[in-house]
Amino acid sequence: MATPQESAPDAWAAVFARMSGVLLSEQTVTTVLKLITSLAKDTLPGSAGAGVTLLGEGGSRRTSAATGPVVERLDALQYELGEGPCVTASHDGVVVRVDDLTEERRWPRWSPRAAREGMRATLSAPLLHADRCLGAIKVYSTRPHDYTAASEDILRRFAAQAAILLANMHTLAAAEQLGEKLTEALRTRDVIATAKGMLMLREHLDSEQAARRLLELSASRRVPVREVATAIVASAGTESV
């Protein structure tokens, strides 16, 4: 019979793989990331906590999901000091394992403070998608040498599913932003076309003359052509613009 460590990652990987084509809202992604961190904690025996760090603009970091306040404190300390296993995992795009924080020398400021919080071992995996690192997922244990090469493989699978969800969210956000720009462009075009038509009727101009008239009004009023056109359309029924 398969153990939870052997079966859970594959089962949840299949679930999240089916979800990978779904356009997700930010709220949905946050909920699922919390579920992933909870599953990572429960699937890796001995884990006292888990969390997800996301990279923002300019390399900033924030904890998007955590199973408890200790994880949030240790993450915040890494961001403040600019060092730690999760920072290294997200910066270098590699899995980072710490067997005993009391003996760890790679992060001389962070490791002793993490040990004073009661943590002895930790494991971090980068969230990689299309050669880009989106952040990292990590687990903490109160016992040294709790994580193995098998643990690394399991956390790497969780990281892969979290990265898919985040990539979908970014795709959705980009599509929405593009849609808004296209919609605004179409609205602007329609308003300008309507304003040109009104000028042609009011001032007995042809299409080219009406376009020049819009540009002249824009220059004299020092406002965009769109605003001039909107004012003309809004003045329908009056004699002047």
pLDDT digits (tens, 9 = 90+) for 128-155: 888 788 889 999 999 999 999 999 998 9
Confidence of residue 18 (pLDDT cuts 50, 70, 90): very low
Q: Does the pLDDT of residue 175 top 70, yes or no?
A: no
The neighbour count for residue 237, using CB atoms within 10 Å, is: 5
Assign 69 to helix, strand or coil.
Answer: helix
Q: How far apart are CA 90 and CA 79, in angstroms?
A: 12
Please give the CATH architecture assigned to the domain spanning 4-172. Answer: 2-Layer Sandwich (3.30)
Q: What does the domain layout of the chain look like in residue ranges?
A: 4-172, 177-234
Mean pLDDT of 214-237: 80
Mean pLDDT of 26-51: 81
The neighbour count for residue 228, using CB atoms within 10 Å, is: 23
Higher per-residue confidence, 197 vs 174? 197
Higher per-residue confidence, 227 vs 171? 227
Q: Does the pLDDT of residue 1 top 70, yes or no?
A: no
Confidence of residue 174 (pLDDT cuts 50, 70, 90): very low
φ, ψ (nearest 5 deg) of residue 184: -65, -40
Q: Does the pLDDT of residue 156 top 60, yes or no?
A: yes
CA angle 62, 140, 31 (to 5 degrees): 50
Q: What is the pLDDT of residue 140?
A: 96
The neighbour count for residue 67, using CB atoms within 10 Å, is: 20
Q: Which residues contact 111 (CB under 8 A, 6 or more apart)?
A: 84, 98, 101, 102, 104, 105
Higher per-residue confidence, 122 vs 9? 122
> For 59-63, 180-184, 213-217, which range has the lowest pLDDT when averaged over its residues?
180-184
Q: What is the pLDDT of residue 224?
A: 82
Q: What is the pLDDT of residue 85?
A: 96
Mean pLDDT of the chain: 79
Mean pLDDT of 28-49: 82
Q: How far apart are CA 217 and CA 155, in angstroms?
A: 63
Assign 26 to helix, strand or coil.
Answer: helix
CATH code of 177-234, in short, is: 1.10.10.10
Closest CA to 144 of 116, 121, 123: 121
Higher per-residue confidence, 184 vs 70? 70
Q: How far is CA 129 from CA 132, 164, 167, 169, in A?
A: 5, 7, 7, 12
Q: Does the pLDDT of residue 180 top 60, yes or no?
A: no
Q: What is the pLDDT of residue 22?
A: 43
Q: Does the pLDDT of residue 90 top 70, yes or no?
A: yes
Q: Which residues contact 126 (CB under 8 A, 6 or more apart)?
A: 89, 90, 92, 93, 94, 95, 133, 135, 136, 159
